[in-house]
């Protein structure tokens, strides 16, 4: 899931300063699950914006709406008839949602209200941790299901570096050494031979190094 966190209020208030009437737009997908930009957070930010602006004596009209998905044109189209009533759209979706809105309604300023963080899994209620870096060439089958790209601080592919101590990474005692986790898991699985397999240099062109990526499924085209 894509995770996000709300931007600091100071930054948000500054970004909406020029506007009198905004559409505060949530998204019912990832940002709802990580409690950053769903209907609930839209209501909370809406109230905070109104209070913050009234306090300054510059009332802000906030229309609240949460789309099923902001990254899909079908749902974004729902705004077509009403969107010109607003001075700006303030989006609480991830960067994909913000850009989909901006592309579809180019005449309207679109302001991001959240910082899109990472692809994460839920560790506990209210805790999300980065698990995938979307490198486009998955090696989890060789690494006991633990990703050295997302979870090793140095993204190395052949065992731990010299900075691993007692299973922890040298960047922080709170960060597990991914390669220690991989070794422990491979032992549990009886697959330690995978650890000895020398990994070839990775082709990073499938990751961001290859420029912005696209998936084209010709079989899905209408």
Partner 1 sequence: MSDFEPVVVVFACDYCAYTAADVAGRMNLEYPAGVRIVRVPCTGKVDSLHVLRALEKGADGVMVAGCLEGDCHFKNGNLRAAARVKALKRLLDDINIGAGRVEMVRMSAGQGAVFAETARDFAETIREMGPNPIKPAAQAA
Contacts with partner 1 by CB under 8 A lie at 8-10, 13, 40, 43-44, 47-48, 50-52, 54-59
Residue 53: CB minimum distance to partner 1, A: 8
Secondary structure element (H or E) that encloses residue 32, with its range: helix 30-33
Comparing CB distances to partner 1, the nearer of 50 and 185 is 50
31 closest CA partner among 2, 72, 68, 60:
2
Angle at 95 between CA 16 and CA 28, to 5 degrees: 90
Residue 91: CB minimum distance to partner 1, A: 20
Comparing CB distances to partner 1, the nearer of 14 and 187 is 14
The beta strands (E) that lie in 68-155 are given as: 88-91, 110-112, 114-124, 127-132
Residue 31: CB minimum distance to partner 1, A: 17
Residue 89: CB minimum distance to partner 1, A: 21
Residue 57: CB minimum distance to partner 1, A: 5
Tell me how far apart the alpha carbons of residues 120 and 99 are, in angstroms, rounded to a whole number: 21
Comparing CB distances to partner 1, the nearer of 56 and 208 is 56
Comparing CB distances to partner 1, the nearer of 62 and 186 is 62
> What 8-state DSSP symbol labels residue 143?
T
Comparing CB distances to partner 1, the nearer of 13 and 119 is 13
What is the crossing angle of helices 9-16 and 39-55, to 10°? 70
């Amino acid at each position: 899931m894509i995770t996000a966190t709300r931007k600091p209020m100071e930054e948000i208030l500054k970004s909406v300063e020029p506007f009198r009437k905004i559409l505060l737009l949530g998204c019912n997908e990832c940002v709802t699950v990580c409690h950053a930009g769903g209907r609930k957070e839209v209501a909370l930010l809406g109230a905070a914006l109104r209070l913050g602006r009234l306090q300054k004596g510059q009332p802000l009209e906030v229309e609240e709406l949460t789309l099923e998905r902001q990254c899909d044109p079908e749902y974004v189209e729902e705004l077509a008839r009403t969107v010109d009533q607003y001075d700006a759209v303030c989006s609480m979706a991830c960067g994909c949602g913000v850009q989909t809105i901006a592309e579809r309604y180019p005449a309207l300023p679109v302001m991001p209200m959240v910082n899109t963080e990472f692809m994460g899994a839920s560790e506990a209620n209210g805790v999300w941790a980065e698990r995938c870096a979307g490198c486009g060439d998955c090696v989890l089958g060789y690494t006991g299901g633990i990703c050295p790209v997302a979870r090793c601080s140095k993204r190395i592919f052949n065992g731990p570096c010299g900075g691993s101590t007692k299973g922890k990474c040298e960047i922080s005692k709170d960060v597990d050494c991914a390669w220690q986790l991989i070794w422990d898991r491979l032992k549990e699985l009886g697959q330690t031979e995978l650890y000895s397999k020398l990994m070839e240099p990775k082709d990073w062109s499938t990751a961001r190094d290859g420029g912005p990526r696209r998936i084209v499924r010709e079989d899905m085209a209408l």
